[in-house]
Amino acid sequence: MYDDYYRFKQKPFSIVPDPSFLYLSERHREALAHLMYGLRSDGGFVLITGEVGTGKTTLIRSLINEVPDDLDVAFVLNPRLTVNELLETLCEELGLPVKGDTATTNKHLIDRLNKHLLRTHALGRSTVIIIDEAQNLSPAVLEQIRLLTNLETNERKLVRIILLGQPELAEMLDRREMRQLAQRITARYHLSSLGRDDTRAYIAHRLTLAGGNAHLFTRAAAHQTFRLSHGIPRLINVIADRALLGAYVEGKQKVTARIVRKAAHEAFGQQAWLRPRLWVGAAALLALVVGAAWALWDHPPAWRSAPLAMSDRPVEAPVAAARVVAQPKALTHVSPGSANGTPSSPSIETAPVPVDPPDTAPNIETKPTIAADRLARPKGANAFDLQRDAYAALFELWNARFDPSDVPCNQAPQVGLQCLKLNGTWRDIARLDHPVAIELWDEIAEPYYAAILRQRDNVITVRLGDQTVATTADELANHWYGSYIVLWQMPPDYRGNLKVGDEGAAVAWLRQHLATVLQIDLRTPEPARFDESLQLALMRFQRDNGMVPDGIAGPLTWIAMNATSSDATPRLSAGS
């Protein structure tokens, strides 16, 4: 109903677990890393728990869409099964139909599964069983699942098992009678709900993917959504969808906190109003306490000291920026990729990248301006000019030529760089440790742009138009909803993601680089071929740098390799 009014290409807040809308908070990244471990481990169980609606099913569907070609997956959605029904379901999921079979006893089905697993193992394939809503499994079925892990060769288990469920699943497995299964759990993770800032970024993320305005929800509306949903993605979707409908009915261009409260009340009834009323009572009590403290201020006790000096006041600890790895000084060039980092068909050149140490880059962060609203949209500036200025600042940091008349991400490959568009939090940017261009919003229904150049202690240096301003992560959150673009330097002969079986100069460079960084021996007769030893080394590197260890060298992995083999890479933390 409101899609055309807000110019959405699709509904932004459907409660269907659509992997294309997956928002990877830090919690969801950790859960995904555990799931990836479950795909590649040598047997045992991986246990993922979380409250209803936290995104477990969306995560697993996203993972299934990206499973390696040599992996067979049996996905069980309805776990309310008998032992015999479970075995039949597994056979069907693995392409072993049992309908019309005269012998479908448990033993017959297990024998068929065992023969199939041995056959696929001989072909170099692996099998994983994923069971969603596993808290509904009966003890008898759980015991049968445990027995499936006994199917093995002399070298390895034939099946891996991932269990996803609500918190009561973990409680069930903690019972004494479940101890044999519990002892086989090799990794477990509890997926908690989103925090306040992640909720705000989650809303903006889904609005953007649906083709709408990321600033549709005011800051107060996003915070109200967090309070009423407790950060649970499914509840966020319910409230946000109803709020958009309410704003549409009222003819509003923005969703306000009042509309969110009304939407939650309509969706959930009286429950949605309980917590705000408690907050009002708590606020009244706090006001009494503050009033009493103020009344006593004119007659302080003798022991009260003078006000703290600025240097004595507690400050927020700086975000730890991951100092990850780097690339060589001279890299080859390729054709431009899209804004989201997906490379287009390659057109390789050979000129080296003109990158000098960043210390020689002039005039980037001299005399930052301090203003009341440091990130306010500059008067008279249009979005195009601000975006051009932001990219010009990034290119300057890379000591690369910038043509203001050309599309920035089209010209980046001409100087050995690539663009990657991401959505996340300030912690994600700090972890990348690269300067980025960010998309900012105010009450005008059009974004404007700035470049984040440095972070020192808690001070973030930003280029906004023709000014360089100093701000903080908290102030940044008033205008930034999580969208940013990072420039990164490509390896030789870059043609896109690398995985097992690929060959080329980029593979050879990756092998040599990982051998140096990890201080391990990766020598092989075929250095330009991506084999399993290189995959294991890459997964170790990814784990060490806080990434999902999927064993695939994609843009985020290449970005993480921009720091040790050369001092030419500009970093947010430089000089910190």
Q: Where are the beta strands (DSSP E) in 154-293?
A: 160-165, 185-191
Tell me: pLDDT of 175 over 90. Answer: no
List, as one string, the DSSP characters of 463-522.
Answer: EETTEEEEE-HHHHTTTEEEEEEEEEEPPTT--S-B-TT-BSHHHHHHHHHHHHHHT---
Which CATH number does 195-273 carry? 1.10.8
Q: How many other CB atoms are found less than 10 A from the CB of residue 533?
A: 15
| Single-letter residue type at 242 | R
**425: Cβ contacts below 8 Å, ≥ 6 apart:** 25, 26, 197, 198, 201, 482
pLDDT at site 182? 85
Phi and psi at residue 407, in whole multiples of 5°?
Answer: -65, 125
Cα separations (Å) of 152 from 70, 83, 157? 18, 20, 4
Which residue intervals of the chain bear CATH 3.90.70.10? 358-489
Tell whether pTM > 0.85. no
pLDDT tens profile 510-544: 999 999 889 999 999 999 999 989 999 998 998 88
pLDDT at site 146? 87
- Supply angle C-alpha 569, 420, 510, rounded to 5: 55
Q: Say if CB 437 and CB 430 are below 8 A apart.
A: no
Looking at per-residue pLDDT, the higher value among 3 and 437 belongs to: 437
Phi and psi at residue 494, in whole multiples of 5°?
Answer: -65, 125
Phi and psi at residue 136, in whole multiples of 5°?
Answer: -90, 0
Which residue intervals of the chain bear CATH 1.10.8? 195-273
The confidence band for 211, taking pLDDT boundaries of 50, 70 and 90, is confident
User: Considering the chain, what is the average pLDDT of its residues?
Assistant: 79
pLDDT tens profile 36-47: 888 877 667 899
Tell me: pLDDT of 350 over 80. Answer: no
Query: Between 219-229 and 271-297, two packed helices, what is the crossing angle to 10 degrees?
Result: 110
The H or E element that residue 419 is part of is strand 417-423
SS3 state at 426: helix
The H or E element that residue 94 is part of is none
127-136, 178-187, 509-518, range with the lowest pLDDT:
178-187
The confidence band for 243, taking pLDDT boundaries of 50, 70 and 90, is very high
Percentage above 90 pLDDT, the chain: 28
Q: Which of 123, 154, 157 is nearest to 45 (CA)?
A: 157
pLDDT at site 490? 84
Radius of gyration of the chain (CA): 27
- Report the distance separating Cα 228 and Cα 225, nearest Å: 5
**3.40.50.300, 1.10.10.410, 3.50.30.10, 3.60.9.10: CATH of 26-191:** 3.40.50.300
Compute the CA torsion angle 442, 448, 450, 456 (nearest 10 deg): 10
Sign of dihedral through CA atoms 320, 321, 324, 329?
negative
SS3 state at 121: helix
pLDDT tens profile 218-240: 989 999 999 999 999 999 999 99
Which CATH number does 358-489 carry? 3.90.70.10
Span 145-162, average pLDDT: 83
Tell me: pLDDT of 368 over 70. Answer: no
* Sheet order of strands, 417-423 included: 417-423, 480-489, 436-440, 448-456, 459-464, 467-471
Strands 448-456 and 436-440: antiparallel
Which residue intervals of the chain bear CATH 3.40.50.300? 26-191
DSSP symbol at 412 = G
Q: Say if CB 151 and CB 158 are below 8 A apart.
A: yes
Sign of dihedral through CA atoms 554, 556, 562, 564?
negative
Phi and psi at residue 295, in whole multiples of 5°?
Answer: -65, -30
List, as one string, the DSSP characters of 544-571.
Answer: HTTS---S-B-HHHHHTTSSSS-S-S--
Q: Given the structure tokens 């004595």, which residue do they identify?
A: 312
Looking at per-residue pLDDT, the higher value among 324 and 117 belongs to: 117
pLDDT tens profile 315-335: 333 333 333 333 333 333 333
List, as one string, the DSSP characters of 188-217.
Answer: EEEEPPP-HHHHHHHHHHHHHHTTS-TTSB
- Report the distance separating Cα 481 and Cα 459, nearest Å: 19
Q: Which residues of 497-514 are buried (b: 16+ CB within 10 A; e: fewer)?
A: bbbbebebebbbbbbebb
Tell me: pLDDT of 13 over 50. Answer: yes
Q: Which of 523, 527, 537, 487 is nearest to 506 (CA)?
A: 527
SS3 state at 460: strand
Q: Which of 451, 452, 432, 455 is nearest to 556 (CA)?
A: 432
